[in-house]
Structure 1
Amino acid sequence: MSKYDSYFLMKAPEVPDYVQEKLSYFDKGAELECKEIGDGNLNYVFRVKDGKSGKSIIVKQAGEALRISADMHISTDRGRIEAKILGIQEMYAPGLVPKVYLYDGVMCAMIMEDMTGHTMMRTGLINHEIYPLFADHVTTFMVNSLLRTTDVVMGHKEKKELVKSFINPDLCEISEDLVYSEPFIDYNHRNNVFLPNQDFVREELYEDQALHLEAAKLKFEFMNHAQSLIHGDLHTGSVFINKEHTFIFDPEFAFFGPMGYDIGNVIANIFFAWCNGDAVISDEEKKAEFCTWCLQTISDVVDLFIEKYNKVFDEYATDRMAKVPGFKEWYLEQILSDTAGVAGLESIRRIVGMANVIDITTIPDEAKRTRAERIVITLAKKYIMNRETFRCGADYLTAIKEAVGKYQS
């Protein structure tokens, strides 16, 4: 009988023994060391490494409560969902997600490829690193993993079976609360609002009833539009990257929802990096280089997505009615509207919600952070209130220029 026959939350010293029992990855006499490396809010992530060979592997275990709040309990079934979706994403976007070696339903733990030679993208962006291939890689990932899991491409019965398998109520509830509700109506009193912007947030967010209506529409779109198998949390903390390659991971929020949710998250988080660079980089030449790359990346994510969408749609669409002239364009317009709306929602919730981003919170100058937050909120409202007008990368650049211009330092 094994100690791992019933669930418990592992500590780092226990993980090497667990790996050796569950997987023939390391040699019998391997000198294994383990370190907890996770900094997320949901899970416990460990790297196990052999001091002799240098081989390493990752173990990710789902806890029963959120690390940011012991009062928030969620199902450990999210680990199964994550392991399964990584397999599906590997099938549609090979090489862009880490390989899963084992999922253990008892310990709610996954053993997976260690993404050595890569850096968490948010960390790299905080250090103002530029990743020239990111827009190309992430759009390849999104178009293939998203469009090819819609009814446009996938057999309808097969898709419905997957929808059942990926029902993810606990983590969807987190998104419904933290992204779509609390940033606008702080009914749980969990929002984190930067003191110099309290009055601004109250006036621009809490008291704007027209904004609340649009957020409500987007919330019910999120809850009821089982369009595609989305990642569900595709921010720069869910990307490991270097100059040549990109890994996308951490999809425990996955479920069948609107495609634009993933695309909008990417756009919003790249703009957070722009805000940090604009506020922190003192060398004007370096600032211009980094901030220009951020803006170009936002534009490229939109335009490359559209370009690849058209190609994948034409190649893989199976539904007869989806091939009716004009449908492809109509379907894309829906996706692009959702994308802009979610870019706004993600922007707002990361400024005032429960889970802020270090791109903004680490800006040391109070006045510059205040300005950055106001730019983000102003821009986000434009995305949400005018989401039907964002149809290409240039539309985003125009809106960004207007928002930044309003708060010239």
Structure 2
Amino acid sequence: MKDFTSCYFTMNEEDAVEYAKTMLDIFDDDAELTCKEIGDGNLNYVFRVVDEKNGKSIIIKQAGPVARISDEFKVSPDRNRIESEILKLQGELAPGFVPKMYKYDPVMNCCVMEDLSDHQIMRTALMEHKKFPLFADHITTFMVNTLLLTSDVVMDHKEKKELVKKFINPELCEITEDLVYTEPFYDCPRNDLLDETRKFVQDEIWNDQQLALETAKLKFEFMTNAQSLLHGDLHTGSIFIKEDSTKVIDPEFAFYGPAGYDVGNVIANLIFAYANAKFTIDDEGRRKDYMTYLEETIKDVIDLFKTKFLAAWDEKATERVAKYPGFREYYLDSILKDTAAVTGLELCRRIIGIAHVKDITSIEDQSKRVRAEKLCLSAGKTFILERETMKHGVDYVKVIRTFAQQF
């Protein structure tokens, strides 16, 4: 019998079953437990444990000592402590939009949570060209509640500073600083891009000194602006979804940073789905229909976020100076600039850098994949350089339509 109480070790499927039997008070004594390792992310081991007698199931998520994407990244297992506490807090701020948490184990660096197997990872669903009409409404409620309500606009400033301290996350922030803000914008040896795309990247990204300057400004904004408690990795692979439900998972990159970082990640990953649809749906009618759906979703995410943010500000703001005429618009405008910038950064880094997205890598026709990559890179560069003009959802749609027509 394994000792789960004194020393950390990386679990396998058999260990996860034993852990569920001996360390959790969830299953019956005579439960017939089976386990499958289902994680496909870059950082963690994820086990689904099921009682074959009644179908009852849970997820055990364990943090390893290095990132699975590469052992170059040494990451603190404390991230699972951060994740479990963030999910609990997000569940209070945005009820119904995160999985239930059952346990956090600081010895085994694992957390036990609700199984969402009746949902689907959103990236996969979008690659299957499914539609989710409620998504924009759901995700904007989640973002407004988790971002505005953890800011100095609403929180007691000392309490907010305590959260900043509690959720300091230097190892995972360093990964973001390197992989999102730095490496994609020069010829870094760790970058991983197609040979057919390299010259385009050299000419349009690496040789553009203005773009380099803007990414430097954005990196320092990310490192120094403790505005809101971010999810920190809010892409479509971190969202479970079904027709009437949206659940946000994997907030292990959470820390206090610029609120637009989360919003921009959502938008960029909808654009990856848009590029996938353009180059994988053969039927013209179906292709146009699905691309239009994604355009409307992108537009709605931006516009609903703005509307809900201002309404929540009026209802929840406690800081006296935040109520001065014009300040809420100024504050929201800064978030919108960051949203556009991060949309661009994410679009570029997922093409050039070490961590790709299946929306693009799954495009089997190499020439079409190259066109999809150029679409994303061109739109990304535009969002960074022209971020001050991106005020409305339609502004995003105009940009992606322009490059969809070009490529």
Q: TM-score interval w.r.t. the shorter chain?
A: over 0.9
The reply to whether residue 260 of structure 1 matches residue 260 of structure 2 is: yes
- Alpha-carbon distance, 1:286 to partner: 1.7
Secondary structure at 2:61's aligned position in 1?
strand
Corresponding letter in the other structure for 2:60: V
What is residue 292 of structure 2 aligned with on the other side?
292
What is residue 122 of structure 1 aligned with on the other side?
123
Task: Spell out structure 1 runs of 4+ moving beyond 4 A.
Answer: none
- Alpha-carbon distance, 1:22 to partner: 2.0
| Pairs within 5 Å for 1:10-29 | 10-29=11-30
TM-score of the pair, normalised by structure 2: 0.98
What is residue 90 of structure 1 aligned with on the other side?
91
Contact 2:2 2:15 (C-alpha < 8 Å) held by counterparts: no
TM-score of the pair, normalised by structure 1: 0.98
- Alpha-carbon distance, 1:285 to partner: 2.1
What is residue 142 of structure 1 aligned with on the other side?
143
What is residue 316 of structure 2 aligned with on the other side?
316
Higher mean C-alpha displacement, 396-405 vs 203-212? 396-405
What is residue 153 of structure 2 aligned with on the other side?
152
What is residue 173 of structure 1 aligned with on the other side?
174
Secondary structure at 1:73's aligned position in 2?
coil
CA–CA separation in structure 1 for the residues paired with 2:86 and 2:139 = 16
The reply to whether residue 235 of structure 1 matches residue 268 of structure 2 is: no
What is residue 327 of structure 2 aligned with on the other side?
327
What is residue 270 of structure 1 aligned with on the other side?
270
Q: How many equivalent pairs are there?
A: 406
CA–CA separation in structure 1 for the residues paired with 2:272 and 2:351 = 10
- Alpha-carbon distance, 1:2 to partner: 6.6
- Alpha-carbon distance, 1:406 to partner: 2.3
What is residue 78 of structure 1 aligned with on the other side?
79
Unaligned runs of 5+ in 1: none
- For residues 198-226 of structure 1, give each alpha carbon's deviation from its aligned partner in whole angstroms, at most 9, with x where no partner exists: 10011111111110000000000000000
CA–CA separation in structure 2 for the residues paired with 1:71 and 1:162 = 29
Corresponding letter in the other structure for 2:144: V
Secondary structure at 1:66's aligned position in 2?
coil
What is residue 225 of structure 2 aligned with on the other side?
225
Secondary structure at 1:398's aligned position in 2?
helix
- Alpha-carbon distance, 1:131 to partner: 1.1
What is residue 396 of structure 1 aligned with on the other side?
396
What is residue 358 of structure 1 aligned with on the other side?
358
Secondary structure at 2:112's aligned position in 1?
strand
- Alpha-carbon distance, 1:375 to partner: 0.9
- Alpha-carbon distance, 1:282 to partner: 1.1
- Alpha-carbon distance, 1:20 to partner: 2.1
- For residues 102-147 of structure 1, give each alpha carbon's deviation from its aligned partner in whole angstroms, at most 9, with x where no partner exists: 0000100000000131000011111111111111100000000000
What is residue 196 of structure 1 aligned with on the other side?
196
What is residue 67 of structure 1 aligned with on the other side?
68
CA–CA separation in structure 1 for the residues paired with 2:21 and 2:152 = 42
Secondary structure at 1:213's aligned position in 2?
helix
What is residue 9 of structure 1 aligned with on the other side?
10
**Percent identity for Structure 1 against Structure 2:** 56
Secondary structure at 1:70's aligned position in 2?
coil
CA–CA separation in structure 1 for the residues paired with 2:73 and 2:195 = 26
Secondary structure at 1:342's aligned position in 2?
helix
- For residues 232-259 of structure 1, give each alpha carbon's deviation from its aligned partner in whole angstroms, at most 9, with x where no partner exists: 0000000000111000010000000000
Secondary structure at 2:340's aligned position in 1?
helix
CA–CA separation in structure 1 for the residues paired with 2:8 and 2:48 = 20
CA–CA separation in structure 1 for the residues paired with 2:399 and 2:43 = 34
Corresponding letter in the other structure for 1:175: T
Contact 2:13 2:47 (C-alpha < 8 Å) held by counterparts: yes
Secondary structure at 2:71's aligned position in 1?
strand
CA–CA separation in structure 2 for the residues paired with 1:298 and 1:51 = 41
- Alpha-carbon distance, 1:373 to partner: 0.7
RMSD: 1.0
Secondary structure at 1:58's aligned position in 2?
strand
Secondary structure at 1:247's aligned position in 2?
strand
CA–CA separation in structure 2 for the residues paired with 1:195 and 1:178 = 20
CA–CA separation in structure 2 for the residues paired with 1:193 and 1:16 = 40
Secondary structure at 2:72's aligned position in 1?
strand
